[in-house]
A and B are shown apart, each in its own frame.
Chain A
């Protein structure tokens, strides 16, 4: 039986000397999956790899059993809305989509019917006969979505699909994602804002610097991040007293005093409890000068992603 998953097996891609993605192994089941990471993390590279726009230097990719090097079959079941904000000069929204449907072998009547249905789903029927070049940014975003879904693909790959949409359309678009996911399809999205997608996603893949940092159900990802001890450097005037107070907290796993007795290296299992404890100590007049995160890994990434949403 053909596996109904999107599989990455040790996939690497380099752009010359620059690393694109490094040893990525993933198995994505149907449903909504979000690729989340800061800009430049490699989300678009992964999506381009899935759809064969670029080819991996190493490793292999299977899309429900099909290779991205076989567009003839793969692209029948796959739709990709890219971030490239371009369209043919001649195209109106309607004939852009209906023309691309002709390549699937549909008759003109079928193609036009399917194009119209896709435009209806994205609420673009009013603008259907205007040139895409004259569309607003949000409308161009939606026409790309409409083009990607027009042939009713099983695997939808959508690069930053919520970017530039106003709140009403965004809610409707998210409803569409849910609807497609409920039909057993793959909906693979990308976002650099975790908050934007964590509620709607069945699965999250956190990416940073071309590597998959964490993967799984959203709750698991959170826990995974929380379970890792994180390090902080605390600058304060009375380091040894602060250290003794901190040691009473049960989430603190390690405290090391700096040689100059003006700072501490603290390791904690729970960053939220830690920050509460630090503010309490500061209020008690211990004179905390600064609290600096000491490692740049998942924790910093998580901080960055959450921070973006605020």
Chain B
């Protein structure tokens, strides 16, 4: 049979197979992959348009005024010059800060005027700052007129139930801060009998951190009471472990826009401290983002896995359905069958992924300022669109052949996918000769805008993401076609030897 009629036969096969390639239930997720960037850019654009709409409601300010705000200016001065902001948020910002110097965990409470008492009682209201339920007191000292005589030292002590036998109330009055009284009763208290009525001038309490424990375990709230008859108590101290200081700052942010940009001024205690001016629609930046998404997501993942779904299914799907023998019983060479199926897969994947790339690019442009888009389009835009679409299409050509061959040679799609993904990932480190055996290497060379690379990234990773020496466009196209031809040749060898055996397949 001559060449032309074989070609016609392959085309007939491709037409029959288009249904499988486009609408296979096993590969519907391919559409999700192809359309994801479009959806992201669409919502990004819509979001920005809504924001601009809402910023425009109060009228825009002059661009010069937007830049005139200086640090240290008061909010009032800014309002006077720029007018009422579009958005104005004001709120107090609380911040818990540690007091200057390391907190010792010791609180000293002077009693003035002095109070006469025999029984001194410490009531723990909130035992800790971090929610720990146990009260911890290292030492409690009571002083009268003489600062050197601790009236409570070694006096009989009582208290709520201790955490353990070794942590009884007497530990708080033994003159040693290395041990402690601990209690987890509901009403936590500690009491000492001074033996006689004394004039009380000062109470010193050593909390958890005075014994080396965490600051947050210091008593948060407590009070100290005094009594003469151990019946009627007078409160003489209200206290906290005073670990933290609550710092309150009046924070205010004001949003202004000149129609193209949005300025956010941040004030603290009435003074301007930060100024951010962002483009509402940053065409330049969005194009960079597109370049990044295209290289990192679209080429590396979406087209890769999309081709896996479409092309592996062409033969493997028929084996699972037990319908492959119908093709093998047709009066067609196996190569022609392969060509037909590859053609169907190519048409489907190029329409899906080339179309997806073009659609995303279109959405990107559609959302921007028309004047900017016009200028870009006349300069480089159409070429960018062309090369993005070409790269996507050639990605389908290359990956398609690889997965078509994999579908013939292997039953499990995970294995070739993992191997290939690994190969493409380490490709940047391989000798130049081997780099040329990668689909991604050529695809990256075709991308019109190099993907943005974070300069903080390790050099190794940067190398991995961008080819060191990209091929020329013609070279890249020839390279992909070369790789594809090689892989398809392997596929032809495989399909010639292929046998129908469903029994082991099931």
Establish whether residues B502 and A84, one from each chain, have CB atoms under 8 Å apart when the complex forms: yes
Q: Which of B19, B322, B326 makes the CB contact (< 8 A) with A90?
A: B19
17 new A-B contacts, CB < 8 A, other than A15-B501, A51-B329, A79-B329, are A51-B328, A53-B329, A71-B329, A71-B330, A72-B336, A74-B331, A75-B330, A80-B329, A82-B325, A85-B322, A86-B321, A87-B323, A88-B323, A90-B19, A103-B9, A103-B332, A104-B331
State in angstroms the CA–CA spacing of A85 and B326 once bound together: 12
Q: Which residues of B contact A74 (CB under 8 A)?
A: 331
Interface of A is mostly: loop
- Taking the closest CB of chain A, its distance from the CB of B337, in whole angstroms, is 9
Q: Which residues of A contact B1 (CB under 8 A)?
A: 72-73
Give me the interface of B with A, judged by CB distance under 8 Å. 1, 5, 8-9, 12-13, 16, 19, 321-323, 325-326, 328-334, 336, 496-497, 499-502
State in angstroms the CA–CA spacing of A84 and B5 once bound together: 30
Kindly state whether residue A293 has any CB partner on chain B within 8 Å: no
Establish whether residues B500 and A71, one from each chain, have CB atoms under 8 Å apart when the complex forms: no
Contact flag A75-B329 (CB < 8 Å), given A54-B501, A102-B16, A105-B8 = yes
Q: Which residue of B lies closest to A101 (CB)?
A: B330
Q: Which residues of A contact B496 (CB under 8 A)?
A: 69
* Cβ proximity bits A121-156 to B, threshold 8 Å, 1 near / 0 not: 000000000000000000000000001000000000
Q: Which residue of A lies closest to B502 (CB)?
A: A84
Establish whether residues B499 and A54, one from each chain, have CB atoms under 8 Å apart when the complex forms: yes
Of all A-B residue pairs in the complex, the 5 with the closest CB atoms, nearest first, are A86-B322, A75-B331, A54-B499, A53-B500, A103-B330
State in angstroms the CA–CA spacing of A9 and B326 once bound together: 26
State in angstroms the CA–CA spacing of A103 and B337 once bound together: 10
- Taking the closest CB of chain B, its distance from the CB of A306, in whole angstroms, is 29
Give me the interface of A with B, judged by CB distance under 8 Å. 15, 48, 51-55, 69, 71-76, 79-80, 82, 84-90, 99-100, 102-105, 147
Q: Which of B13, B322, B325, B333 makes the CB contact (< 8 A) with A72?
A: B333
State in angstroms the CA–CA spacing of A123 and B322 once bound together: 25
Q: Which residue of B lies closest to A79 (CB)?
A: B329
Q: Which residue of A lies closest to B15 (CB)?
A: A102
Establish whether residues B321 and A71, one from each chain, have CB atoms under 8 Å apart when the complex forms: no
State in angstroms the CA–CA spacing of A82 and B326 once bound together: 9
Q: Which residues of A contact B12 (CB under 8 A)?
A: 102-103
Please indicate which of the listed interface residues B13, B331, B502 has the most CB atoms of chain A within 10 Å of its own CB. Answer: B331
Q: Which of B9, B13, B321 makes the CB contact (< 8 A) with A89?
A: B321
State in angstroms the CA–CA spacing of A15 and B334 once bound together: 22
Establish whether residues A103 and B13, one from each chain, have CB atoms under 8 Å apart when the complex forms: yes
Please indicate which of the listed interface residues A74, A75, A80, A103 has the most CB atoms of chain B within 10 Å of its own CB. Answer: A103
Q: Which residues of B contact A105 (CB under 8 A)?
A: 5, 8-9
Q: Which residue of B lies closest to A53 (CB)?
A: B500
- Taking the closest CB of chain A, its distance from the CB of B503, in whole angstroms, is 9
Q: Which residues of A contact B497 (CB under 8 A)?
A: 55
State in angstroms the CA–CA spacing of A103 and B322 once bound together: 19
Q: Which residue of A lies closest to B16 (CB)?
A: A99
State in angstroms the CA–CA spacing of A136 and B327 once bound together: 24
State in angstroms the CA–CA spacing of A105 and B330 once bound together: 11
Of the A-B pairs whose beta carbons lie under 8 Å apart in the complex, a sample of 30, sorted by A's number, is A15-B501, A51-B329, A52-B328, A53-B325, A53-B500, A54-B499, A54-B501, A55-B497, A71-B331, A71-B332, A71-B333, A72-B332, A75-B329, A75-B332, A79-B329, A80-B329, A84-B502, A86-B323, A88-B321, A88-B323, A89-B321, A90-B19, A99-B16, A100-B326, A100-B330, A102-B12, A102-B16, A103-B9, A103-B330, A105-B5
Establish whether residues A73 and B331, one from each chain, have CB atoms under 8 Å apart when the complex forms: yes
Q: Which residue of B lies closest to A82 (CB)?
A: B325
State in angstroms the CA–CA spacing of A48 and B328 once bound together: 11
Q: Which residues of B contact A85 (CB under 8 A)?
A: 322
State in angstroms the CA–CA spacing of A89 and B12 once bound together: 19
State in angstroms the CA–CA spacing of A73 and B330 once bound together: 10
- Taking the closest CB of chain A, its distance from the CB of B177, in whole angstroms, is 82
